Amino acid sequence: MKILIIAHGIYSHLISFSRISSIFHQNGNEIVLLSNSYIPNQFGEIPFKYYQSRVMPFGRGFESIIARESMKGSYYADLKLRQGDVLYENRKRELIHILNEEKPKLILLDTLYSTDFSIMYQWLRSHGSNLFFVTTMPTLERGITIPPVSSDLTPEDSAKVKSTWQRFNCRKILLESFNYLKYFGYNDLSILKDHVKNIPKFKERFPIKWMNFEHVKFLNLPELILVPKEFEFQTHQKEEDQYYVGFKFFMRREFEKETDFKDLKLLVELEKEKGQKIIYCSFGSIYDKYINEVNRIVLKIVAAAQRLDEVSFFVSFDTEYLLKPLKQIPGNVFFNNYYPQLYMLEKSDLFLFHGGLNSVREAIHYCVPMLVYPINKKWDNRGNAARICFHNMGMRILKDDNVSSIISKIRKILQSHHFKRNIKRIRDSNRTYTDQSFLDLVEELILKYRL
């Protein structure tokens, strides 16, 4: 079976898709990838065909970004793109060309690109192909007791959860209403509805649910969520068409050779031989976009290290990004532009990081307690941190935590065994989501969700 993956080109999404691609490939399926960017060897040893997308999906507000980047960043350029339906037509041309070239039997569509479904629907139906949405983070659905995935709230804060969703709904309604007036009826939702109304029975079969977190959902289609259900809050009731498939761990994230980072690995071993506790610190693949937040925590790490002689900190951070040069780097702090993360987690006693889901997945695999400092307020960093705290797999560094508070949290995690026990419980639950159960589920869903 030929499978077309349409994925957002950021590192975290591609890594998530790479693992399920590996499972499909090992079962004899052929993989085709369409993405706006791609890092060589991102998918490891998996052979696949790659198309670089040169067009952004429609109905997501990308007209404003394109107008800005084309140096015509005016309101009129944005409006012209919308009125001319430029994104829709260009995206349709690209997608239909690839569908006709490759003729996939199954499409795995990144949830953030969900509007592509409306373009491909008639082709899929006429060719007997299926489409599944794939969500690379915890649920993006709204719920009475489930806070938005960008929130650091937990279900115990029920009043705050309710008010957060109310503010979210209010902002979203006001924004769509404002954009409807601003663009003379060519706001994102109106553009989408205008296209699907001409597709026979589409609205009846796949109603649009747009009051979600950062995506448009089409009902009555399967959504694969790449986390175990057990990682969600216990109060979460999944939607009928949601299917949790567990963390899909990729053993060769860095695609390094055994000889790579030889000196760095030797340094880690020497510190462990001295009886030092190892704390690995990482702030994600795009920390340069959040340089103020990263600088803030790096300075606190250095200050904490001066009072934690028994701990060695390995910090994945380019010191050229420091806004102020460090007067002195303690002997138990080791900066490097890059550390091989899987190796570091295997050797670490504590993982201090930004809260990215791929890193959460890997920390759970190696049973490493977590201390989270979310740096991205828009996406799932804070929601992941909330789930880590909810399940007692670690703690969170708050923005106003001083050095003493951070030291206290580090010591509490290093001295307690219950964090590892709780991580092991989630890890054991995740192991029930086997590769074979994933393949069996896909076969079942192909038969259940005929277009």
Domain spans, the chain: 2-246+433-448, 262-430
- Crossing angle between the packed helical segments 86-102 and 116-127, to the nearest 10 degrees: 30
Query: In this predicted structure, what is the pLDDT of residue 254?
Result: 47
- Burial-class residue 400 by CB neighbours within 10 Å (0-12, 13-18, 19+): exposed
Six-digit token string for 193: 């509805």
Query: In this predicted structure, what is the pLDDT of residue 255?
Result: 46
For residues 330 and 305, the answer to whether their CB atoms sit within 8 Å is: yes
Query: In this predicted structure, what is the pLDDT of residue 351?
Result: 98
Report angle CA 366, 231, 374 to the nearest 5 degrees.
75
CATH for 2-246+433-448? 3.40.50.2000
d(CA 220, CA 97): 26
Question: What residue spans of 143-261 are helical by DSSP H?
Answer: 158-182, 188-196, 202-205
The dihedral region occupied by 41, where left means phi > 0, alpha psi between -120 and 50, and beta the remainder, is left
Identify the DSSP state of 373.
-
For residues 243 and 223, the answer to whether their CB atoms sit within 8 Å is: yes
Number of helical (H) and strand (E) elements in the chain, helices listed first = 16, 15
Query: In this predicted structure, what is the pLDDT of residue 126?
Result: 97
Identify the DSSP state of 322.
-
pTM for this predicted structure:
0.92
Look-up of token digits 């006693």: 349
Query: In this predicted structure, what is the pLDDT of residue 378?
Result: 79
Query: In this predicted structure, what is the pLDDT of residue 44?
Result: 60
Q: What are the average pLDDT values for consecutive 10-residue runs of the chain, which has 451 residues? A: 94 88 93 83 71 92 83 82 95 98 98 96 97 92 80 88 89 92 94 93 92 83 96 83 88 52 90 96 77 89 96 92 83 93 95 94 96 87 95 94 96 96 97 96 96 92
Domains 2-246+433-448 and 262-430 equal at CATH topology level: yes
Question: For domain 262-430, which CATH number applies: 3.40.50.410, 3.20.20.10, 3.30.70.120, 3.40.50.2000?
Answer: 3.40.50.2000
Six-digit token string for 138: 């915890």
